[in-house]
Amino acid sequence: MFLDIRLISKIVTSHRKDYFCFMEGKKGIAILGSTGSIGTQALEVIGAYPDKFDLQVITANRNSDLLISQAIKHKPNIVVIADESLYKKVNDALWEHDINVYAGADSVAQVTETKEVDIVLTALVGYAGLKPTLTAIRAGKSIALANKETLVVAGEIVTQEAREKGVNLYPVDSEHAAIFQCLVGEFHNPIEKIYLTASGGPFRGFTHEQLLKVKKEQALKHPNWDMGAKITIDSATMMNKGLEVIEAKWLFNLKPEQIDVIVHPQSIIHSLVQFEDGSMKAQMGLPDMKLPIQYALTYPDRYKTDFERFNFMDYPELTFEQPDRETFKNLNLAYSAMEMGGNAACALNAANEVGVAAFLKDEVSFLDIARINEETMNSITSIAKPTYDDYVASDAEARRLAKELIK
What would the DSSP string read from start to end of 111-131? GGG-TT--EEEE---GGGGHH
CATH of the domain at 34: 3.40.50.720
pLDDT in tens, the chain (407 residues): 444 443 343 333 333 333 333 445 899 999 999 999 999 999 999 999 999 999 999 999 999 999 999 999 999 999 999 999 999 999 999 999 999 999 999 999 999 999 999 999 999 988 889 999 999 999 999 999 999 999 999 999 999 999 999 999 999 999 999 999 999 999 899 999 999 999 998 999 999 999 999 999 999 988 776 678 888 999 999 999 999 999 999 999 999 999 999 999 999 999 999 999 999 999 999 999 999 999 999 999 999 999 999 999 999 999 999 999 999 999 999 999 999 999 999 999 999 999 999 999 999 999 999 999 999 999 999 999 999 999 999 999 999 999 999 97
273 in a domain, yes or no? no
29 in a domain, yes or no? yes
DSSP 387: -
Cβ burial, residue 396 (10 Å; 0-12/13-18/19+): exposed
210 in a domain, yes or no? no
Q: Could you tell me the residue range of the domain that residue 41 belongs to?
A: 5-172
| Confidence (pLDDT) at 25 | 82
| Confidence (pLDDT) at 3 | 43
DSSP 224: S
140 in a domain, yes or no? yes
Phi, psi dihedrals of residue 81, rounded to the nearest 5°: -110, 120
Task: Answer for the pair 146, 173: CB distance below 8 angstroms, yes or no.
Answer: yes
201 in a domain, yes or no? no
147 vs 172: CA distance, rounded Å: 8
Structural domains counted in the chain: 1
103 in a domain, yes or no? yes
388-406 and 344-360 helices, crossing angle to 10°: 40
144 in a domain, yes or no? yes
Residue 138's Cα: distance from chain center in Å? 19
185 vs 222: CA distance, rounded Å: 34
389 in a domain, yes or no? no
Positive or negative, the CA dihedral 391, 393, 397, 402 is positive
